[in-house]
Chains A and B, each alone.
Chain A
Amino acid sequence: MPATQEITLFVPGLLRPYCGGRSEIVLTVTDLRDLLAQVEAQHPALYVNLCDETGRVRQHLNLFVNSDNVRDREGLETAVATGDVITILPAVSGG
């Protein structure tokens, strides 16, 4: 059984209406896949805006662990450590 870690999920303003207006959510997870599962269970409206019907993170969003894009690490298998900050980065077009 992998160890659980307490991480902070940073939610961009665009998605805050889907999690009660919160900008940060503290979760205890084993890895990013577990993080998404917990978001689905605890914040279903946020989850449907974060992942598509196949469970993949939507194409206009990026997930970062601290300052690194998970694409540059091990994707959803990227390990996390207590104190890590997970950022949801949306593509934004406003100018």
Chain B
Amino acid sequence: MTLGSRAGLTLPEMRRYGRHLVLSELGLAGQERMKAGRVLLVGAGGLGSPAALYLAAAGVGTIGVADFDVVDESNLQRQVAHGTAAVGSAKLDSLRARLTDLNPHVQMVAHPVRLDRSNALAILRDYDVVLDGADNFATRFLVNDACVRLGKPDVHGSILRFEGQASVFDARTGPCYRCLFRDPPPAGAVPSCAEAGVLGVLPGVIGSIMATEAIKWLTGIGEPMVGRLLLYDALAMRFRELRVRKDADCPACGPAGAHAELPDYDVLCGVGESAPADDGELSAEALSARLARGEQVVLVDVRETFEWEIGHLQGAIHLPLGQIPARVGELDPTAPIVLYCHHGVRSRRALDWLRARGFTSLQHLTGGTEAWSTRVDPTLPRY
């Protein structure tokens, strides 16, 4: 690792960072390196919020943020940089106001774009460290590949439900993300936080770890988390560490990746692929019309019990996804079945599983209960 340059501190900065200056490992030299440091946050959401707050408070001189989203009320349970008054405004505007108030000595650079292969290299090039707090696989694979190409450290954090992962991927000295996860999962195979939920405080833990690694990297102190993946289980309150080794055949940092063009990551991840007309998709409006006509349809709710209890479609039977293999005998393979869940991911998996076992008349509700509630029946609770 090559340490960055130093930037002199003003007297007010010395007062502000006094608790850092007395840390012998960090001291004035470390603080000046932080001031000269440039960190890019990919995403101003759950992970980006605490990371940005701690990096700004610590005195990282330039904090770039790439995000194109607006603050939604459902973000506030975990995205602590944003407040109620910011709902509906751009996350970048909300974050800039918060960081400016927190520490006027640091500069936030806004990148109001969705990172893709056309802009990623140009944006990442100007930074010393990249923090990946994206909420989708396409961006995560892109950020990794761009970091590999540019020789930048990719500080990784990811969260779901009660568990988080963190590591530092630096292909120059260790593995990259694709040495661990070579290819993205098929679209829909792994749920998002919106689908599976996330404990609000979880990104606070993982985002703070990411900020810690960025500060260590900029200042050259401690032992970077290269080649190690930290697993955090909030329910067990347990940290575990796994070893990640470089893959000689890695598609990103192996010989094949060095000169290959960055691919279209949406295509790589199967995002936005149009569904064939006969593949079982059924819109909320179409299902509503069929029910209104009195068509006989077996509605199967594949969500968990607590979700069923929040609310369900009238006349549905409850068969959680995890119980389908054991209870498949309860379903008539020839009856017209419409499966549904919260957003349409689990019902799609149920459909594929049942179809492979000879069920002939299957459809699933595209967009799940969320679509039903927003487009057909608002009395069905959203959650």
Contact = CB atoms under 8 A, between A and B. Distances in A.
State yes or no: do A and B come from one complex. Answer: yes
Interface of A: 12-14, 17-19, 23, 44-45, 48, 53, 58-60, 62, 64, 67-69, 71-72, 87, 89-95
A95 B43 contact: yes
Contacts of B22: none
Contacts of A68: 242-243
B190 A91 contact: yes
A interface majority secondary structure: mixed
Contacts of B353: 48
A87 B165 CA distance: 13
Contact of A93 (B136, B161, B229, B323): B136
Given A59-B183, A69-B244, A91-B185, A12 B47 contact: no
A64 B158 contact: no
A14 to B, nearest CB: 6
A94 B240 contact: no
Interface in B181-209: 181-186, 189-193, 196, 198, 203
Interface of B: 43, 45-48, 132-137, 140, 157-165, 180-186, 189-193, 196, 198, 203, 229, 231, 233, 235-236, 240-245, 247, 304, 320-326, 353, 356
Contacts, number: 115
B181 A94 contact: no
7 contacts: A17-B321, A59-B186, A60-B185, A67-B242, A93-B160, A94-B160, A95-B132
Contacts of A89: 165, 229, 231, 242
Given A92-B190, A93-B140, A94-B160, A18 B322 contact: yes
A45 B240 contact: no
